[in-house]
């Protein structure tokens, strides 16, 4: 009985929370490039089978997930978070905000993310995205005021995760908490 | 005392076995994986556009809303699958998944190099029946081996701005996926 409980409990925990096998963490962002190939680990396989997700294939792109900011604060839709800096080399990238189950979040603008083409940059090519419940000037990504959300940064046609394993060469944008209402 | 410790140790070891067994069995037991979700809404061996994700509904979780997507659910029981995906103006990619959602091959527009991504998909057995030299002479025939008989081909076209979504959808609407003879 105890054995069954321990075993099933561990399975449930690892699959719903995810384990960091072969993962690549840069600041708040974590990617598991192997998930998009035949080298996918059994935990990730079990996890995608359960959620019904189709992972981004290696050769297509790499997806980075963030659930907290750089300081470890959980991404809360009632607070304002700023995302700024530079991105690793990629032909295109997209940033999308999901709830914890991978669904888009309803908002008045019907905006769920940005692409690298849409973003407004300053003279030096840097950008800042405000992830906030209420409208902001510039690049505003609405949270819909939900309690917890997940940000997914997808890099398309990129050498990240394929060529380099050193995270130092791949700077990811910083995520910082600004204010909570 | 020792007896109790042994019991606990035994339970933990057995728990570990149960844990590993359930993790490994999960992909086979899952009835909500991507293939199972798409099976009722897609006929086999044809390209079907996927409904774009909204806050209310999404065919699969974590779909990228900046992309138009289409799927070809394939079954290689009666032949090979010939895929032809014209490229959109922005970024186009084709990813192959096994029955259990493992991405075994992905190619993008730049790697394809031409105006369309053209591929022949077959099982390793069917590949061995292809006459010797055939795949060398026809240089434009890229052959992909599917590890499973059934699976999914997902075509994605990026709309760099929301206004370009119709363009991305049109490009995918011209994609073809059809059954062909093994030869």
Give chain A positions within 8 Å (CB) of B38: none
Contacts of residue B43, defined as CB under 8 A and 6 or more positions apart, other chains included, come to B73
Minimal Cα–Cα distance from B17 to chain A, Å? 7
A38 and B21 within 8 Å at the Cβ level: the answer is: no
Identify the weakest region by mean pLDDT among A28-37, B92-101, B169-178: A28-37
pLDDT in tens, A69-94: 999 999 999 999 999 988 888 899 99
Helix (H) / strand (E) element for B82: namely strand B80-86
Give the pLDDT confidence score for residue B156 in this predicted structure: 94
Question: Are the beta carbons of B59 and B37 closer than 8 angstroms?
Answer: yes
Identify the weakest region by mean pLDDT among A136-145, B59-68, B107-116: B107-116
What's the first-to-final CA gap in chain B, in angstroms? 71
Question: Are the beta carbons of A96 and A113 closer than 8 angstroms?
Answer: yes
**Summary mean pLDDT of chain B:** 87
Instruction: Residue B4: count other Cβ atoms within 10 Å of its Cβ.
Output: 8
Minimal Cα–Cα distance from B139 to chain A, Å? 21
Give the pLDDT confidence score for residue B128 in this predicted structure: 86
pLDDT in tens, B71-123: 999 999 999 999 999 888 889 999 999 999 999 999 988 887 778 888 899 99
Question: Are the beta carbons of A83 and A174 closer than 8 angstroms?
Answer: yes
Give chain A positions within 8 Å (CB) of B24: 42, 46
Minimal Cα–Cα distance from B180 to chain A, Å? 26
A3 and B12 within 8 Å at the Cβ level: the answer is: yes
Question: Are the beta carbons of B172 and B165 closer than 8 angstroms?
Answer: no
Cross-strand bridge partners of residue B119: B83, B142
**Residue B48 — pLDDT band, cuts 50, 70, 90?**
very high
Question: Are the beta carbons of A93 and A115 closer than 8 angstroms?
Answer: yes
Give the pLDDT confidence score for residue A97 in this predicted structure: 95
Give the pLDDT confidence score for residue A76 in this predicted structure: 93
A53 and B60 within 8 Å at the Cβ level: the answer is: yes
How far is CA B138 from each of CA B128, B134, B141, B145, B175, rounded to the nearest angstrom? Answer: 16, 6, 6, 17, 21
pLDDT in tens, A45-67: 888 888 889 999 888 899 999 99
Q: Is the pLDDT of residue A163 over 60?
A: no
* Mean pLDDT in residue range A32-55: 86
Closest Cα in chain A to B25: A46
Residue of A60, A62, A144 for testing the chain B interface, max B β-carbons within 10 Å: A60
Question: Are the beta carbons of A22 and A60 closer than 8 angstroms?
Answer: no
**Residue B22 — pLDDT band, cuts 50, 70, 90?**
confident
Query: pTM to 2 decimals?
Result: 0.87
């Amino acid at each position: 009985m105890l054995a069954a409980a321990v075993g099933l409990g561990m399975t449930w925990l690892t699959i719903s929370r995810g384990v960091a096998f072969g993962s690549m963490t840069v600041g708040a962002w974590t990617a598991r490039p192997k998930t998009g190939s035949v080298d996918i680990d059994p935990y990730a396989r079990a996890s995608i089978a359960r959620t019904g997700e189709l992972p981004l294939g290696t050769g297509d792109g790499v997806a980075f997930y963030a659930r907290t900011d750089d300081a470890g604060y959980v991404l809360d839709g009632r607070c304002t978070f700023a995302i700024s800096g530079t991105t690793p080399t990629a032909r295109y990238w997209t940033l999308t905000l999901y709830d914890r189950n991978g669904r888009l979040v309803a908002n008045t603008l019907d905006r769920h993310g940005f692409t690298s083409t849409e973003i407004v940059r300053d003279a030096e090519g840097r950008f800042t995205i405000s992830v906030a419940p209420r409208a902001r000037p510039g690049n505003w990504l609405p949270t819909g005021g939900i309690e917890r959300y997940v940000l997914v940064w997808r890099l398309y046609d990129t050498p990240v995760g394929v060529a380099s394993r050193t995270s130092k060469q791949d700077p990811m944008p910083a995520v910082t908490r600004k204010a909570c209402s | 005392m020792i007896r109790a410790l042994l019991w606990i140790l035994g339970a933990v070891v057995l728990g570990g076995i149960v844990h590993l067994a359930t993790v490994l069995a999960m992909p086979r037991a899952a009835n909500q994986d991507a293939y199972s979700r798409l099976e009722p809404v897609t006929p086999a061996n044809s390209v079907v556009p996927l409904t774009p994700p909204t806050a209310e509904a999404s065919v699969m979780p974590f779909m990228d809303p900046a992309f138009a997507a289409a799927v070809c659910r394939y079954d290689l029981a009666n032949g090979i699958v010939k895929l032809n995906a014209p490229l959109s103006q922005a970024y186009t990619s084709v990813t192959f998944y096994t029955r259990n959602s493992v991405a075994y091959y992905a190619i993008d527009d730049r790697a394809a190099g031409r105006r369309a991504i053209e591929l022949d998909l077959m099982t390793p057995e069917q590949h061995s029946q292809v006459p010797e030299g055939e795949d060398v002479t026809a240089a434009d025939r890229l052959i992909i081996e599917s590890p499973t008989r059934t699976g999914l081909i997902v075509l994605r076209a990026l709309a760099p701005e929301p206004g370009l979504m119709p363009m991305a959808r049109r490009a995918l609407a011209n994609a073809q996926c059809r059954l062909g003879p093994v030869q």
